[in-house]
Structure 1
Amino acid sequence: MWAWIGAAVALIVLFPFAIFGIAYAATDVPSPEELANNQIAVIYDRTGEGEIARIVPEAGNRKPISLDEVPVQVRNTVLAAEDREFYTNPGFSLTGYARAAIGAVTGNRSAGGGSTITQQYVKNAVVGNERTLTRKAKELVMSAKMARQWSKDQILEAYLNTIYFGRNAYGIAAAAEAYFGKPVAELTTAEGAVLAAAIQRPSDLDPWVNRAEAEQRWNYVLDGMVEMGVLDAGERATTPYPDTIDPAEVPVPTNTDGPEGLIRNRVLAELTEEGITETQVNTQGLRITTTIDPTVQQAALDAVDTYVDIDGGQRAAVVSVEPATGAVRAYYGGDDPNGWDYANNGVQTGSTFKIFALAAALDQDIPLSRTYSSAPVTSGDATIYNVGNASCGTCPISEALKQSLNTPFIRLQQDLEHGAEDTAAMAHRLGVAEELPGLGRTLMEEDGTTFDGITLGQYPTRPLDMAVGLATLADDGMYHRPHFVNRVETADGEVLLDRSADRIEGERRVSEAVATNVIDAMEPIAAYSNQALSGGRQSAAKTGTTQLGDTGLNKDAWMIGATPQLSTAVWMGMVDGDALYNPWGGVMYGAQSPGSIWKYTMDNGLVNEEFKTFTAPKAVGGQAGRPVVPTQTYVPETTEATTEETTSSEAPTPEPAPVEPPPVPELPLPELPLPGFGDGGAEGGDAGGGDAGGGAGAADPIPAE
C-alpha cells in the first residue's frame, strides 16, 4: 500500500517536471534577428531634411541601439530595478517570485515583480500579454530555453530596445530623448535610474505625473545598485534627483494628418510595388526620401488655400510631375489622409482630353494645319454643337484646340483609322492608366467599345494621369514611370531602393515630331486663358470642364499645363458632385480658379528655376508646328455664365505669382455640353465636353447659352 502511495506522490511531484521537459523540447526559440522590433519609418522630401510624414507601427516609437551604446551604469540601473540576478539566473527567478509575493502581501509596490528581464522580453516580443496560465507557462519555458541559446548581453540589448518607458517611448534610446532630450550615451546614473524606475508602471511613475512615487522607486533603484556593489554608498548619498523635460514638449509620433497623409499612402503603395514588405517598413527604421519638392509642394498647398473654398464644399487636386524623370514634385488630393484622394481617383476631364486625340492624329501624319469645319456634327444618334454657336468656320485643328471647339475634334477623331479607339490607345501610351480600382478598364464601355465623347473628356481619368500624360509630351515623347520614392535606407544603412540618378531612363512612347507638335499647339492657351506664366515663361496648357447633366452648370473644371521642367494638372469639383460656381457666383470654367491654382503653383514652384524652352516642332505630314492664324477677338455671350469674364489681360512680370488672386480671366466662348455619351445615354447626362463640358442631346439640340 505504502509503495502505491509513494508512487503516486512521486508521479505528482515529477509530473510538472515531465510536462516542462516535453514543452522545453518542443519549443523553438527564434534568433535575435528574427525578433526585430517595430520602429518608426520617416518620410522626407527630396532634400532628405524636411519631414513629410511618419509611418508609426503599433508600439513603434523606437530606435534600436547596440548594448555598447548604453553606459554601463545605466544598464546597472535597469538590472537593479528589474532583475538583480539577471547574469546568474536561468531565465526565471525563484527569489523574484518570492519577492513579488511578499510585496503583494505587504502592499509594497516598489518591491519588484516576479518576472525576470528575460521573461519580460519574451512576453513583449513573443508570447504576448494574455493573462492566462497557458501564456505564463509558455513564457517560463521560452525564457528558460532562451537563456541557454542567447547570450545574456543579447537578451539585455533586445530588452532595452523593446521595453516601454512611458511618454510614447519604446526602447531606451527613445526614452532618453523623451525624458531628458539627449542621446542615451550621455545619460548619467541618476537619469538612468529615473528611466529604470519608470519601467514598472510607466504611466504612473513619470515624475511629472507622480513625483512622490517616482522618487520612491528611484531610491529603490539606487539602493539596489549599492547592494549589488556597482554604486558607491557615498556617491549614492549625494546624488540628487534629476530634472526631466515637460512631457508636453515631447513630440508625439503619429501617423500624419492632413494632405501629407495622402502622400504617405502613395509612398506605402509604391514600397509594396517595389517588393519592400510591411514587415520591413515596420521593423527596419526606414528612412524614405521622396521626390516631393518642398518649394513646389508649398506652392500647390498655398494655391489651394487661396483659391479653393473648402468650407463651401469645393474640392481640388493638384499633381506636379517632372517630365525628365517621372518624379512627383507636388501632390495634393485633399486634407483627409483617410478620406477620398481626389488626385488618385478618376473624374471626367472635359476638353483637356483633346490633346490625346490630337496626338493620335499627328501619329497618323495628320498635321496641325489640317482644317476642319466647326459646324454641328453627327456622332451616332447625337448632334454635337459648340457652346454659344461658336465657330471658327473652317480652321486648322490647332486653332480649334486653342478655342476648344468640340465639333472639329469630333471630325478629327472620325478621321482616325480606328476612330475613338485610337484616342484611347494614345492616352494609354502617354501614361493614362489602363485600369483603375473600382472602375476596371478605363476609356471604354463595358463591352469594350469607346464612344466619340472620349475626345471631349467623357471617361474618368485621374489628375495624376493627366499630369503624367502631359509630362510625356513635354519630354518629347519619352515616358517616365511616375514615382514618389527616390531612396529607401534602413536604420543600419542598407539601401533598399535608389532612384537618385539625375535622369531616369525613359521609354519612347511617341515620336519627337508628335510630341513637339502637340506642345506647340498648346503653347498659346495659357495666355489665351489669361493665365500666362510670369516673366513670359514658356508653357503648354489646356483647360476643360464637364457639365452637370442638362443644367447648364459645370461640375468639374480643369487646367493642365507644362513647362520643360514641370507638368501640373489641376482639377476642381464639389464634395457632393454638385454644381461648381466661380467666386462671383457664375459658372466655373477651367481658366478661372483651376487656372489660377495652376499659374500660382507653376510660378512659385519654379521661382528658382531657369527659363527653358520646348523643343522646336518637327515636321508631321510635311508641316512643322501650327500655321499662322490671324488673331481674333472673341466676345462672350451676354449670359450669367460669361458676363463676369471680361477683364483686361494681365501683363507678364518676372516676379512669382502674387498671393492675391489675379483678375478674372477673359475666356473663349464656352462649349455646348455633350450628353448622349456615357452614363447619360442619348437622353443626356454628365458626359464630358469642352470648356463647358457635357453635350447635346440625341434628338433636340440644346440652344446656345
Structure 2
Amino acid sequence: MLRFVSFYRFLGWSFVTGLCGAGILIASFYLYLTPNLPDVEQLRHTQLQIPLRIFSSDDKLIAEFGEKRRSPITIDQVPEKLSQAFIAAEDNRFYEHHGVDIKGLLRAVTQLATSGRIQSGGSTITMQVAKNFFLSREKTFTRKFNEILLALQIEQELSKDEILELYFNKIYLGNRAYGIEAASQVYYGKSVAKLTLAEMAMIAGLPKAPSRYNPIANPSRALIRRNWILDRMLDLGYIDPNQHAAAQETPITAVYHGSSPETEAPYLAEMARKELVDKYGEEAYSEGFNVYLTVNSVLQEAANKAVRKGLEDYDERHGYRGPESKILLDNPFSAESISAKINNMTNYGELVIAVVTGIKDNEATLFTQDYGEIILDYEGVKWARPFISVNRRGTTPKKISDVLQPGDIIRIKKTQDNKNWKLAQTPKVQGTLVSIAPSTGAIKALVGGYDFAQSKYNRALQAERQAGSNFKPFVYLAALEHGSTAATLINDAPIVFEDKNLEASWRPENSSGKFFGPTRLRTALYKSRNLVSIRLLKKTGVRTTRNFVSRFGFNSDALPNDLSLALGSAVMTPLQVATGYSTIANGGYESQPYFIEKIENSKGDIVFQATPTLTPNAIKELALSPPAEPIRTIADIDNNLQEPDVVQLDNIAFREGLSTDPSVLTPSYKEAKSIIDERTIYIMHSILKDVIIRGTGRRAQALRRSDLTGKTGTTNDQKDAWFSGFNTETQTTVWVGFDQPTTLGRREYGATAALPIWIDYMRVALANTPSANMKQPEGIVTVKINTETGALAKAGEKNTIFEIFRKENAPQPEHTPAGNQSVEQPSAVDDIITAEDIF
C-alpha cells in the first residue's frame, strides 16, 4: 500500500513539476519576446498601401498606379452577411475569445502530433491581423508565439469592430486585390454593398488560399469552398434554409474586372503620375493619393474622338496601304487558330483587328475576336484607292477583291451612323489637341497623339515644331502695340534683295504664288499673306518683336533673330502655342496653364490645392460665387511667407482673417498681370474673327456662332498643319504632322488637316454655352476708312468700310499735321532685304 501511495505521489509531483516547467518556459518566452514586440497602438494609425488614383474634375477615374489594389472601407459599410461569412469561414468563436481560441490551438497541436506536420495554425481573425500587420508568413514556433502575444494585446487595445475593420482592409484575396472592397470590384465589378449572398461566401473563401480557391482560376475548387462556407453559415444560424438553398444553386459569376478607366486620358494620367513621383518619390504609388485634374471627362472624350477621326480622315484621303500582315489560313480554319495568330496584336483607338476568311459575291467575311464573324460589303472598302505617294493614289477599286484577299489581317471601324463596318488602317500621321480656359489657365482637355498604346510620346508637351502662320498674330500684335493699325498699308509684292545671291538662300512667297500690292494689315492677316508679314516684321524690328512676343510664354532664346520669324520658323510645342493664344483670348493677361486641381491623401485631407493665375474677370466671378467650405489640410504647415498676410503650403494659401486655425486653409489664387494694351487685343480679336468670316478659317462657320476667332498655320512643304481658335471662355490649339517631319501632301493645310479636328471638338465644348465675345474696352473708336488707302473716308467715297482703332492712332482729316496721321504708305526702303535680315 505504501509503495502504491509513493507512486501516485511521484506522479503528482511530476505533474506539478511539468506545469511549473511549462510555466517557466512560457514565462521565459514571454519575457524574451515581449520587449521586441511592436506597439499595438500603431494599428490605430497604420497606413495601408493604397494605389495612386487620377480623376477628372467630374470624379471619373482616369488611371490607377500601384502594385496593390485596395479601397479601404469602414466597418459600418460592410454588410452583416459578409461579416458573418468571414466569421463562419475563419473564426466562428470570434466574439467569444480574447484573441486566442484555445480549442483551435489544441486542434492544430493534435494535427501536428498525428500527422507530423503543421496543417492549420489555429489562427483567429485577431491573430491574422497580428500576422498581416506585424509578422512574416514563415511557419515557426517563435513567430506563432509572437502572434499569440500580439493577438492578446490587440484584444486589450481595440474593439472587435476595429479588429474586423483592419482585417477586412488588409487581407490578400488574389488578383492584386487587398481587402474586401478591392476583391468585390476585381471579381464582380461592384461594391460590397451590392454583393449577393453567394458572392459574399465566395469572397470569404479566399483568405485560406487565394490561388487555390480563386473563382476565376479554379472555379471547381472555389465552388466547393463557397458551398462549405454556406453550410457553416446555416449551422451557425446566420442564414435560413431557403437562403442557403438559393445561394448554393447560384452558378459562379466571377470574372476579372481590371481597374478600367472611366475616362480615357492616358497622356494626362502620365503627366500627373510624373508630377506625383517627382513630388513624393516612390511613396506616391502606395500612399493612397487621389489626384483631381482640371479636365472634364466629356470634353476629354470629345477631344479623343476629334483627334482620332481627323487623323483617320487624313489617312483615308491619301489611300490604302494594304493589309497589316497576312496569315496562311488552316483548311478548315477554326476561330481558335486565328485567335492564336492575332492574339498579340494591339488595338488602337476604336479600330478592330480582323482577318479576312473569305470573299464571295462582292462581300468579305471577317473574323474578329470581340465581335465574331462580320460581313464587310463593297461600300465599306470603296474609299480604298491604293496609296502610291503622299500626293498620289491609284484608281478606285471596282470590287472588294481588288482590296482584300483571304488571310489579310486588317483593321475595321464602325461607320459614322454606327450601323455598318468599313475598312480602316492605323494612321501614321500624328496630332495633338490642347484646350485651355483662358481666364484661369486650367487645361480642359489634352491629347498627345493618336493612341497612347501606339506611342507614349506626348506631342502636346514634347514635340517642338515650326508654328508657321499660326505664329503671325503675335508678330501683328507687336506691330499694333508699336504704332501700326489694322488699316496700315504694307506692300504685298516680291521681295527685293540687296544681293541677288540671297535669292538662292531664301525666296519667300505667298501660298497662292500671287502678289496683291498695298494691303491693309487686317486683310493681310486674315488672308495670311507671307510677304506682308515679312515687311511688317522688318518695319517693327526683329529685336523689338522678339522681346515683345516672349511675354506670351515663348522662349525668346528659341526665337530666330531674323525675318523668318514672321513666317513662324521658330519651333515650339503645341502647349506653348495654346498658352500664347490663351493670353489673346483672355484680353491680354499672362496665362499659366495647369492641370492638377488638388491632391487628397488617403484620409481625404487636401495636401495640395492649385493657386491659378486669374484674370480680373475671373476674380469678379469668383467673388460673386457662394463661399467655399474651408479646406482641411495637414496641420504641420511649412511657414514659408510669400506675402505679409499669406502663409504658403505648396500652392495653398491661408489668409489672415479667414480663419484663426492655421490647419484650415482656403483656396487662393494669383492675379494675372496685364502684358499688353487690352485695346490692342480687342483689335486682334476683331481681325481673327475675319479669319473665320472671310479668311482661311471659314470652315469654322459650320458651328454657327458669332464669337469664334482663330488662325490657321501651315509650314514649308506642308510639314505641319495648325489651327488655334477661341472665344473668351475656351481656347483650343490643334497640330497635325508626322513625328519625323515630312510633307503631309500638297493639298494639306491648317484648314484641311487641323481645323476639322478643332471644329469637332469645339462643337462639344461650346454646346449650350452663350456667346462669349470680348467686351469693347474704353479708348476704342470706330472710323470709316477708304479700303484702298486706309485713310479717313471722304463724303461720297466708294470702297469704304468701318475700322476700329486705338483712339490716339485713329486716322485724322487731311488738314491734320502729317505727324498725327496713322495711315502709313508703303516705303521703297522697307522693301529691300539685306543679308542681316535673313541670317
What is the TM-score when the length of structure 1 is the normalising length? 0.69
Which residue of structure 2 lines up, in the alignment, with residue 599 of structure 1? 759
Find the residue that maps to 1:542 and give its secondary structure: strand
Which residue of structure 2 lines up, in the alignment, with residue 459 of structure 1? 570
Q: 1:443: how far off?
A: 3.9
Q: 1:341: how far off?
A: 0.9
Q: Are 2:515 and 1:391 equivalent residues in the alignment?
A: yes
Distance in structure 1 (CA, Å) of the matches to 2:145 and 2:586: 65
* Cα contact 1:289–1:487 (8 A) shared by 2: yes
* Cα contact 2:307–2:432 (8 A) shared by 1: no
> Structure 1 residues 232, 394: CA separation in 2 closer, same or farther (over 3 Å shift)?
closer
* Cα contact 2:84–2:238 (8 A) shared by 1: no
Which residue of structure 1 lines up, in the alignment, with residue 474 of structure 2? 356
Distance in structure 2 (CA, Å) of the matches to 1:619 and 1:139: 81
Which residue of structure 2 lines up, in the alignment, with residue 292 of structure 1? 296
Which among 529, 544, 547 is matched to residue 713 of structure 2?
544
- Residue by residue over 1:590-613, the C-alpha shift from the partner in whole angstroms, topping out at 9 and shown as x without a partner, is 222112222333345424333443
Q: Are 2:697 and 1:513 equivalent residues in the alignment?
A: no
Q: How does 1:65-84 map to 2 (within 5 A)?
A: 65-84=73-92
> Structure 1 residues 252, 293: CA separation in 2 closer, same or farther (over 3 Å shift)?
closer
Distance in structure 2 (CA, Å) of the matches to 1:600 and 1:36: 44
> Structure 1 residues 105, 86: CA separation in 2 closer, same or farther (over 3 Å shift)?
same
Q: 1:543: how far off?
A: 2.1
- Residue by residue over 1:467-493, the C-alpha shift from the partner in whole angstroms, topping out at 9 and shown as x without a partner, is 222122122113443233456667876
Which residue of structure 1 lines up, in the alignment, with residue 414 of structure 2? none
Q: 1:560: how far off?
A: 1.4
* Cα contact 2:470–2:723 (8 A) shared by 1: yes
Which among 323, 336, 352 is matched to residue 452 of structure 2?
336
The structure with the largest strand share of the pair is 2
Which among 55, 61, 68 is matched to residue 64 of structure 2?
55
Which among 29, 47, 58 is matched to residue 35 of structure 1?
47
Which among 526, 531, 540 is matched to residue 402 of structure 1?
526
Which residue of structure 1 lines up, in the alignment, with residue 695 of structure 2? 528
Distance in structure 2 (CA, Å) of the matches to 1:79 and 1:379: 94
The one-letter amino acid paired with 1:243 is T
Q: How does 1:58-137 map to 2 (within 5 A)?
A: 58-62=67-71, 64-84=72-92, 86=94, 99=107, 112-113=120-121, 115-121=123-129, 124-125=132-133
Distance in structure 2 (CA, Å) of the matches to 1:82 and 1:379: 93
The one-letter amino acid paired with 2:713 is G
- Residue by residue over 1:625-659, the C-alpha shift from the partner in whole angstroms, topping out at 9 and shown as x without a partner, is 9976469xxxxxxxxxxxxxxxxxxxxxxxxxxxx
Q: How does 1:346-495 map to 2 (within 5 A)?
A: 346-374=464-492, 375-376=494-495, 384-387=506-509, 390-416=514-540, 419-420=542-543, 422-432=544-554, 442-444=555-557, 450-486=561-597
* Cα contact 2:443–2:593 (8 A) shared by 1: yes
Distance in structure 2 (CA, Å) of the matches to 1:129 and 1:308: 59
Which segment is superposed worse, 172-181 or 529-538?
Answer: 172-181
Q: How does 1:183-198 map to 2 (within 5 A)?
A: 183-185=191-193, 192-198=200-206
> Structure 1 residues 477, 85: CA separation in 2 closer, same or farther (over 3 Å shift)?
same
The one-letter amino acid paired with 1:464 is L
Distance in structure 2 (CA, Å) of the matches to 1:628 and 1:296: 46
What residue ranges of structure 2 are gaps of 5+ in the alignment? 1-21, 316-424, 613-617, 623-668, 790-832
* Cα contact 1:478–1:510 (8 A) shared by 2: yes
* Cα contact 1:317–1:332 (8 A) shared by 2: yes
Which segment is superposed worse, 457-466 or 374-383?
Answer: 374-383
> Structure 1 residues 597, 232: CA separation in 2 closer, same or farther (over 3 Å shift)?
closer
Which residue of structure 2 lines up, in the alignment, with residue 23 of structure 1? 36
* Cα contact 1:520–1:626 (8 A) shared by 2: no
What is the TM-score when the length of structure 2 is the normalising length? 0.60
Distance in structure 2 (CA, Å) of the matches to 1:123 and 1:424: 66
The one-letter amino acid paired with 2:588 is G
Q: 1:340: how far off?
A: 0.5
Distance in structure 1 (CA, Å) of the matches to 2:139 and 2:566: 65
Which among 558, 563, 568 is matched to residue 722 of structure 2?
558
* Cα contact 1:45–1:291 (8 A) shared by 2: yes
Q: 1:212: how far off?
A: 4.6
The one-letter amino acid paired with 1:544 is G
Q: Are 2:323 and 1:317 equivalent residues in the alignment?
A: no
Find the residue that maps to 1:478 and give its secondary structure: coil
Q: 1:416: how far off?
A: 4.5
The one-letter amino acid paired with 2:457 is W
> Structure 1 residues 217, 52: CA separation in 2 closer, same or farther (over 3 Å shift)?
closer
Distance in structure 2 (CA, Å) of the matches to 1:617 and 1:15: 88
Distance in structure 2 (CA, Å) of the matches to 1:498 and 1:190: 46
Bigger relative contact order (CA 8 A; separation at least 6): 1
The one-letter amino acid paired with 1:155 is I
Which among 720, 731, 738 is matched to residue 574 of structure 1?
738
Which residue of structure 2 lines up, in the alignment, with residue 634 of structure 1? none
Distance in structure 1 (CA, Å) of the matches to 2:431 and 2:783: 33
> Structure 1 residues 373, 188: CA separation in 2 closer, same or farther (over 3 Å shift)?
closer
Find the residue that maps to 1:353 and give its secondary structure: helix
> Structure 1 residues 542, 166: CA separation in 2 closer, same or farther (over 3 Å shift)?
same
> Structure 1 residues 412, 170: CA separation in 2 closer, same or farther (over 3 Å shift)?
same
Q: 1:15: how far off?
A: 7.2
> Structure 1 residues 317, 239: CA separation in 2 closer, same or farther (over 3 Å shift)?
closer
Q: Are 2:368 and 1:252 equivalent residues in the alignment?
A: no
Distance in structure 2 (CA, Å) of the matches to 1:353 and 1:499: 29
- Residue by residue over 1:30-86, the C-alpha shift from the partner in whole angstroms, topping out at 9 and shown as x without a partner, is 34333234157352354x5xx352324322242x22213334453233233224455
Distance in structure 2 (CA, Å) of the matches to 1:130 and 1:523: 73
Q: 1:573: how far off?
A: 1.0
Which segment is superposed worse, 77-86 or 280-289?
Answer: 280-289
Which residue of structure 1 lines up, in the alignment, with residue 376 of structure 2? none
- Residue by residue over 1:387-424, the C-alpha shift from the partner in whole angstroms, topping out at 9 and shown as x without a partner, is 2664343433333323434444344444557x34x444
Find the residue that maps to 2:166 and give its secondary structure: helix
| Higher-Rg member (1/2) | 2
* Cα contact 1:194–1:218 (8 A) shared by 2: yes
What residue ranges of structure 1 are gaps of 5+ in the alignment? 1-8, 433-441, 548-552, 632-695
Distance in structure 2 (CA, Å) of the matches to 1:131 and 1:407: 83
Which residue of structure 2 lines up, in the alignment, with residue 437 of structure 1? none
> Structure 1 residues 191, 349: CA separation in 2 closer, same or farther (over 3 Å shift)?
closer
- Residue by residue over 1:545-595, the C-alpha shift from the partner in whole angstroms, topping out at 9 and shown as x without a partner, is 333xxxxx33222121222332211111113x142324xxx3532222112
The one-letter amino acid paired with 2:508 is N
**Number of equivalenced pairs:** 599
The one-letter amino acid paired with 1:546 is T
Distance in structure 2 (CA, Å) of the matches to 1:251 and 1:292: 25
Find the residue that maps to 1:217 and give its secondary structure: helix
Q: 1:213: how far off?
A: 3.0
Find the residue that maps to 1:592 and give its secondary structure: helix
Distance in structure 2 (CA, Å) of the matches to 1:56 and 1:232: 39
Which segment is superposed worse, 408-417 or 196-205?
Answer: 408-417
Distance in structure 1 (CA, Å) of the matches to 2:242 and 2:297: 54
> Structure 1 residues 615, 89: CA separation in 2 closer, same or farther (over 3 Å shift)?
same
| RMSD over aligned Cα atoms | 4.9
Find the residue that maps to 1:591 and give its secondary structure: helix
> Structure 1 residues 517, 377: CA separation in 2 closer, same or farther (over 3 Å shift)?
farther
